[in-house]
Structures are given as C-alpha cells and as structure tokens.
Amino acid sequence: MLHPDKLPPELLTGPFTTGEAHDLGIGRGWLRHRKLVRLSRGIRTVEGADSSLALLTRPYCIVTGHAAASHATALEIWGMPGFHPDRGGPGIHIARQAPHTMMRRRGVIAHKTQFRNDEVVFLDGLWITTRARTWLDCARKMSIEELVVGADHLLRIPRPVFEARTAPYATRADLELAI
C-alpha cells in the first residue's frame, strides 16, 4: 500500500480532488488510506497538512464547476479591509453561476449569482471573484465607513516604497460598473 509520504508532490501542497489523484495514477482504494482526510465528496487532503484558505477553497471550485470563491472567503483571500460577519468563520463562501444550482457540500456557504466574464479571475489555480465584485458582494453587510475604507483600498495609488504593485486594484469606473 502506498504511504502518504510517497504521494506525488502536487498532492502534498494542500487539498486535492479525487479526479486530480486519479490523473496522477493514484488508485481509488488508496484514497481511503487512514492518513487521508475526506473533506467532502471528491475532496481529500493529507492528515495534518497545513493549507491556506485559497488552497482549501480551490478543490471545491474545481470539483463542482461553474463556481468561484466569493463574499467573506474572497475578502479574506484578497486581504481586503472590511467587515463580513462570516469572515474567518468555519464555512467557505462559494458562488455558483446561474442557472446552475447552489453548491451543497459540508462546510460550504453557497451563493447563486450572475457573473459577467470580467467579474471572475483565475488566480493560482483558484477561481475567485475580482476585488471590485468582492467589495460589492460584501457591501450589504458593511457600514458606510467600511465601504469607504474598502473602496479606498481598491482605488488608492500605491506607493512603490511600501508595496510591489504599481497600479490601483480597481478604478472608479470598475466600481461603478460593479454597482
């Protein structure tokens, strides 16, 4: 029997789908190994493996399809300032494109929404709503002051001395289009 230490390196970095494991030659029976934790239907991880929120969210979006990290989960992954009651909570927020049904999985807070093509981006293997769309999705649970802080974070011109980016995360037109 294969030991978890002998897994392909791609599967040791964080949670993975059983489809990804099959593509790498891992058999169905081995996916029942006691050192592999079943996070949800079709999603596994190695016991004790550390994983960031982005790594944890990725397989949920892949296994279901037409889905992206959104709301409080996207707010946290992007590192945006702002309030959402579920930020840091136990659930992962995932929005699914209409007309598809909402995701029904343990540990997932599901949303059904309409995305324009430019409102979702593919970031390091993860489908996630853009910063402007994330700001809009969380807006109804933010106070006016928090909305202003979030918008300022997106619109401000960065200072190269303090950060690597050279352009604002969004323009005023981007936020107006989102609204």
Q: Which amino acid is at 114?
A: Q
pLDDT digits (tens, 9 = 90+) for 63-93: 888 889 998 899 989 988 877 766 667 788 9
Beta carbons of 142 and 83 less than 8 angstroms apart: yes
Q: Provide the pLDDT for residue 129.
A: 93
Q: Where are the alpha helices (DSSP H) in 45-171?
A: 53-64, 71-78, 131-139, 144-155
- Give residue limits of the domains in the chain: 4-46, 64-178
- Average pLDDT, integer, range 35-52: 80
pLDDT digits (tens, 9 = 90+) for 81-139: 877 766 667 788 999 887 877 778 888 888 888 888 888 999 888 899 999 999 988 88
Beta carbons of 21 and 44 less than 8 angstroms apart: yes
53-62, 83-92, 152-161, 170-179: the lowest-pLDDT one: 83-92
Q: Provide the pLDDT for residue 130.
A: 92
Beta carbons of 129 and 178 less than 8 angstroms apart: no
Q: Which amino acid is at 117?
A: N
Counted residue by residue, the chain has a size of 179
Tokens of 171: 């323009």
Residue written as tokens 């980016």?
165
